[in-house]
Structure 1
Amino acid sequence: MKHTFLNYIVFVTFFPQLIAGPIVHHKEMMPQFTKKRNKFINYKNIYLGVFIFSIGLFKKVVIADTFSIWASNGFDVLEQLSLIEAWITSLSYTFQLYFDFSGYTDMAIGVALLFNIKLPLNFNSPYKAINIRDFWQRWHITLSRFLRDYVYIPIGGNKKGSFKMYCNLLATFLIGGIWHGAGWTFIFWGALHALAIICHRIWCNTGVNLNKLVAWFVTFNFINISWIFFRAEQWEDAIKVLKGMFGFSGVVLPSIFLNISFLQGNEIVIGEVFANFNSDTEITLWLLIALFICLFFKNSNEIVSFYKPDNKIVFFIVSIFTISLMNLDKNVDFIYFNF
């Protein structure tokens, strides 16, 4: 295919080609524009595109934007967080980020399909990961590929011994942190993931395997904690949330524990746990629903593999699309547009 200025303009202006992802190679995109069959209406791709776009829109405006209120309240408004409040804050951002970013990606993939263009997989249920390497093979896959091909491999990869490989991993993740923002919190976030990847590689060399449930629990909580630095505007915000999560800012327990005397005192009080978040039932329900979706629902890419239009699917699409439109009065900025 000829590399003309017109082809370049098409490549850089195509809607899903925004830096938030999926991040695609020129060789993946341009041949699709020249295929004759892609120049005709493909109703199957239209059905799939609308289906995936609707799922992405629902993820963003219904789920992610619901969590954004609680995450912003904890990070930006409250000056101190008790134990449960801090966990609400961190988990809210963990789910907000995932549903916001994967929602955008689904929308981009869906819109591309309307034009018969297929974009690469970018998310593959990352919160199901059972180790940090597994996570990065599932999360923002096209960015991981970009950093691997243009940073990790060019500086040596794993070709020159373990120590050099660890240094290359550290450099790659630090650059990945700077990719998102030139702040120390992003750099520290990158360093945390580099350290986790290095520890995982060393652990694998021991031949010891963790129980899968334990491995998932450790991985998910590491990711949840590391996102705090990704979200925090300043170091003080990150420290505030971390202190609360580990009980250094006091522990408030619900009234169900009122008659358990040894739990009272020593910075533990019985009171209104969700006083600063308005609704205990709503928050608890949303956190459980989000976790259940992340762990037990098929992602949009898996659903498409056996997608067959029928009345139930059409009803589902119309329902979630309508619900999403009804929630468009909320803040609809995408998180990744800030990076």
Structure 2
Amino acid sequence: MRKCSSNKHIFFWRKPNLAQQNVEAFLKVHGPLSTRRYSYLDVKKMTNSFTNKIGQGGYGSVYKGKLQNGCPLAVKVLNQSKGNGEEFINEVATISRTSHVNIVALLGFCVEGSKRALIYEFMCNGSLEKFIFKENHYQKENHQLEWGTLYLISLGIARGLEYLHRGYNTRILHFDIKPHNILLDKDFSPKISDFGLAKVCTREESIISMLEARGTIGYIAPEVFCRSFGGVSYKSDVYSYGMMVLEMVGGRKNVNVGADHTSEIYFPHWIYKRLELDDELGLKGIRNLEDNAKVRKMVTTGLWCIQTDPSNRPTMSKVIEMLEGSVESLQVPPKPFLSSPSRSPTDFSTSLVHAWGHGSNVANT
């Protein structure tokens, strides 16, 4: 950036930081991109100078905006201090490769000095987490989704992930599948968003290397943070998907550190017992046999997805087959190894905080 001293009119150049260098190098190698590039002034106009903030994430703030033709937008303005530009590169490199009804559309981007923004289609119902966690203030009676809607959402997310994983030449691994990153349109059709932690690999790469764990606590596959469980692969996304589906069923975080009894702390363990005994699931809102079948398919599929050994987890193609098939054809999976802790809720929550931090992304590199 050029600076001018008002007294002596001496001009000099400030060396771009590493993030700027990385982003500009990426754009040079991959440009011109099919996604439109906007100026920062354009972004300010779109968002009316950032007056309507609709979200906050680890990588920046999200504002509602609109194009000149009135088309609504969601504009993510990335934090200047976060990372080395990888989150921007990941978003543009991955989403610009995609075109699927269950993947959020990237309509444009802005890179101007240290300022970076990503421009998406606007999803009027926001994120899935608003509608599934009972402690959420959005979760009033009239916001609770019916089981049929939740089932279709789980199926749509599965189709989006299957699309990412089955690319002809390259495969996209998301690494941060969770309710917060699933957006819902006016018809509650889901779209996978936030590719800041994603990695692109070739189809031949069955196992990929990572220097650090990445993802969000509660959804990270065991092998991502401890290689003794196996290699990191697209099956790591399958695990995250399974944990999320079980949260959709339970209407709460899988790990409930505030539960009165240790058997209630870990929801997958609780629901597995009922499935194993072919018992009533004990969930609210199941009105008929059709609802019951859909919920049982979601539970069974979710439990298969969170198997500790990655090789025991289904592919996303198989997940779709399980969800669309008959409930009678599904086998009860082995009990997930990582189950309810034997310690008290207080001890368990304390250990979580010390080991991982408090419910946030573990890595952004």
TM-score, length of structure 2 as denominator length: 0.29
Which structure is higher in RCO with an 8 Å CA cutoff and minimum separation 6?
A: 1
The structure with the greater share of residues assigned to strand is: 2
TM-score of the pair, normalised by structure 1: 0.31
